[in-house]
A = this chain, B = another copy of it.
Amino acid sequence: MTPFSQRPELTHQGVLKMLRAAVARAEKMDQPQCIVIVDASGVPLGEIRMTGSKYLSRASARAKARTAASIGAPSASVPEAVRAQIGLATDGDVTGLPGGLPITVDGQVVGGIGVGSGTGDQDIEVAKAALAAIGLN
């Protein structure tokens, strides 16, 4: 293994596209949402807290985004049996709540998106709309 490798990175134009698409979908379903997008190290790249959303969902949306980016899979895939233990050991960062999806390009995780304030299904639908806006699914 060499000291360096290459990896794709999500640009801010990609982030803006994702946020706008997520907001549009949330407006269409009439469910205001908190939306957080993080990079491959879990550091926030962008965020919107929609008018009428639950402000505490900022925190859960952040955890969902960070979980999905960390594990490279939907936050809801964290096994039921270990959720409490891992949630405690990571100060709430790892969550099994639905609404977090990884952002994966050419098989490499470049970040994650987390959505919160609606039902689990609504959160996932909004996250998927954001991914679709940058050509991912």
Task: Write the residues of chain A forming the contact surface with B, with a CB cutoff of 8 angstroms.
Answer: 1-17, 19-20, 23, 27, 32, 39-51, 54-60, 63-64, 66-67, 69-72, 82-97, 105, 110, 134-135
Counted per complex, copies of this chain come to: 4
Q: Which residues of B contact A89 (CB under 8 A)?
A: 59-60, 63-64, 87, 92, 95, 97
The 8 Å CB contact of A59, one of B14, B17, B63, B90, is B90
Find the B residue at minimum CB distance from A27: B1
Q: Which residues of B contact A85 (CB under 8 A)?
A: 83, 87, 95-97
Majority DSSP secondary structure for residues of A touching B: mixed
B94 touches A56 (CB 8 A): yes
Q: Which residues of B contact A8 (CB under 8 A)?
A: 4-7
A3 touches B13 (CB 8 A): yes
Kindly provide the distance from the CB of A80 to the nearest chain B CB, expressed in whole angstroms.
Answer: 10
